[in-house]
């Protein structure tokens, strides 16, 4: 039980750190720029 709690805390810290670093690096904008245009692969065009 204790091991699991420690693992959860480590994973949560890693997740938050990754998310924040990603935001700082401008990856939100990269995701947005892909999402706001038609994805030709997704709809089966190319």
Partner 1 sequence: MDRGLKRKCIQLASAVLYNANFAGFRDGAIWQGEGKGVCVPGLNCYSCPGAVGSCPLGALQNALSRLPEKLPLYVGGFILLTGLALGRLVCGFLCPFGLIQELVHKLPGPKIQKSRWTRRLSWLKYIVLALFVVAIPMCAAWARGYPLPAFCKYICPAGTLEGGWPLALLRADIRGRLGGLFCWKSALCVAILLSCVFCYRSFCRFLCPLGAIYSLFARVALLAMRVDKTLCDNCGLCVKKCPVDVCRVGDRECVQCGACRAVCPKNAIYFGKERRT
x-or-dash pattern for partner 1, window 1-40, by CB under 8 A?
x--x--xx--xx-xxxxxxxxxx-x-xxxxxx-xxxxxx-
CB of 5 to partner 1, least distance (A): 9
Output the CA–CA distances (angstroms, integers) from residue 7 to 3, 30, 33, in the order listed.
6, 30, 34
Helices (runs of H) and strands (runs of E) counted in the chain: 3, 0
Q: Tokens for 34, please give them.
A: 């892909």
How many residues of this chain bind partner 1 (CB under 8 A)? 35
Rule CB under 8 A: which residues touch partner 1?
1, 4, 7-8, 11-12, 14-23, 25, 27-32, 34-39, 41-46
């Amino acid at each position: 039980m204790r091991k699991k709690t420690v693992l959860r805390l480590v994973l949560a810290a890693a997740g938050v750190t990754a998310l924040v670093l990603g935001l700082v690096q401008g990856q939100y904008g990269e995701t947005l720029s892909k999402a706001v245009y038609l994805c030709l692969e997704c709809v089966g065009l190319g």
